[in-house]
A and B are shown apart, each in its own frame.
Chain A
Amino acid sequence: MKYIDEYRDPVAAECCAAAIARITRRPWTIMEICGGQTHAIVKFGIDRLLPDRITLVHGPGCPVCVTPVEKIERALAIASRPEVTFCSFGDMLRVPGVNTDLQSVRARGGDVRVVYSPLDALRLAEENPEREVVFFAVGFETTAPANAMAVHQAKGRGLANFTLLVSQVLVPPAIAALLNDPECRLDGFLAAGHVCTVAGYDEYEPLAERHHVPMVVTGFEPLDILQGIYMCVRQLEEGRAVVENQYRRSVRREGNQPARRLIHEVFEVVDRRWRGVGVIPASGLALRPAYRDFDAEVRFPDGGDVTEEASECISGRILRGVTKPHDCPAFGTRCTPEHPLGATMVSSEGACAAYYRYRRPLAAQGGV
């Protein structure tokens, strides 16, 4: 496909890796924020093309993984109600709550549907006025325009049977939290190209300056990622720390202005808990009071009181880039995609699931 295939050329990838090796003088640790990039790095073996002195660590950029367990419990309680048609992206169905998941709710007769877009859920609400249609609005900045538009249209059409269970999170406050963590050993970041397509990257500039950490807004194809790493390493070797944009074919510094305006109209910034990480100030979005009638947590106030997780899962350390998946004693044995202990094994973009899918045969041979 045009604009995809040319960014997957293996010969150009080898050249780009050779160029990275050529400019690398010292050891550097670089975090890619986005789970989509983690998936591509492990799938295409990009980390194995790199010189030994470059370490890639995988960040918290999987909204499925960081949705807190109390929000999952709230989803389970709402989805179990007989009058509710609960709509979600497919990734959320097997995310474990305390005792069960959405897929099990569906198996027990709950009306749980997988949709491609929040507009599909909106359509279901229009076509089924006798049902309470709830959309599980999970996502980063990338998904916020779609969720904002769905609820904005619902309000415009006076749809009384449509609500959102909102679990929207924001990336820059999470990067700030990672950089303020005493365990942080990150030298540079690849910022997430589609998050920045929507939100722009002006918010990253003070972070790069204050922490003296280079950040490169990067795309998702192998050559994008390799070029992003090249640009990041070049800054590190030259002692610079600014925000650069590798993914220029999609990202503008100011982001998508019409999308940002509607997000701002519908949502307000709130403190949010990230699963495995804890509460990060000003890192989430909630519906503004004018949209309170469309808030599923207001309409269905029961459930979701649990905040403790009883599990040996170390996904919090994985999400902060402190530990790699194969360092976990449960990886691939007590924790698999079929029987996940935590969210990083559930979502296809979770670091544990990516390692399980693409790295396990080698791990079984004694090397990763």
Chain B
Amino acid sequence: MLLEARNISKSFPGVKALSAVSLGFHSGKVNAILGENGAGKSTLLKILTGEYPSYEGSIYLDNQPVRFATVREAQNAGIVIIHQELNLIPQLTVAENLFLGRELNTVLGIMDTVKMNRQTQEVLEKIKLDIPPQTRVRSLKVGEQQLVEIAKALLADASVILMDEPTSALSDTEIENLHRIIRELKDEGKTIVYISHKMDELFRIADHYTVLRDGIMVGAGKMVDTTEHELIRLMVGREVKILPKEAALKQGKVVFQVADLSLQHPYDRNRMVLRDISFALHKGEILGVFGLMGAGRTELLETLFGLHPARSSYRLHIEGKDCYFKSPQAAIRHGLAFATEDRKSEGLILGMDIAENIGLPTVMQSSVLHPAKEKKIARSYVERLMIKTPSVSQLCRNLSGGNQQKVVLAKWLSTQPRILMMDEPTRGIDIKAKQELYELMKNLASTGMSILLVSSEIPEILTLSDRILVMSEGRITGYFTADEADEDKLLKAALPA
């Protein structure tokens, strides 16, 4: 056991990112870390590589306790991370990138380009990357750049190499090549930590796995002893008790009907992110949309909210009227509301207070502000949604995740929407706030609002939804009513074919 973490906890204002996580990475093995967004993977990586110097618990390297204050210290101890977004400087050559920050000098204090190029050549040969050291990085393919990152790690004499989604931008042959090199590194006794969402890949390359969910380690073991199904089950979780479902509402009339929705890839117009999506939303119903990461759930909501007018095509009827939204304004005007997944960067203006945030979409209705009225409205929502705050003048930055989410919800409720779209509404918030949000959503539906709920948590979907759509690779791959849906059926439909 080379690198070990014991009882690691890390909190951010309002959310506990990791709680008492203990795990070990074996040398000479490929160790996979799995978890959905927000499970705590990146926080863990940042602690291991010195980016977050303050945390509870301890890290052991070869049974010696270590504590890294900077990324540099971790690198010197032999721990190197290869980020998903590569950290190379495109305008510099391969050799210049490899030696960045530790250039070799001649006795005269001039850079020893010859020596650096020669050493670069040696490392490149080792990973069988057949390019001259003087090649500029920007002229390399992404797969080659990935290998340059690995060369950089080898040159730094790394014994632990962490790879965050290394194959997300690689072609199949590039992936094959990368895996071959990973196997060689493994045989040399290096410790590889490998993060990926691609299950088939993990079963090919990884030896051990660790699953994180909501900042807790929920499972670990050998890859040979587990199955894809089991891993996904661990990732999406079942620990929240499934509440008994009240008798399904009498189905209301169709308020929202979308047909043949498709969305092009932003850079590659020939690739489709979403294809052939058609569904209807009834009055007072909660329609759950389940899918694994990358299934296109968020993109679906974004498209419906008018965020990709240039790349999307669809037919949409809202209460019988034909609509096509070119901007969020248009969508809001037609009674849509969209509570985004990332409340900090997309949902709220953190430097503004609760009342100002709630008023944001509705304030345009009058040109002059009425602060007293605005505060009164905000107070009514604070009361109704049980937002815990000393006053509505509190900055949103100072609220916990659950309360921030409630402010986002209040903001959209103030527009009196007919259709409320929610993307992962309970991600990263505590169980109690979760239950409160569930109650709220049910109450809203019972008043006639239609809710489109995107979630990667199966219990959440099963608890709330009247009907469930399952998405995989940009298509709808399953459709269930609340009565017929269960965990196994949803998972089966969500797995890529």
Are the chains A and B members of one assembly? no
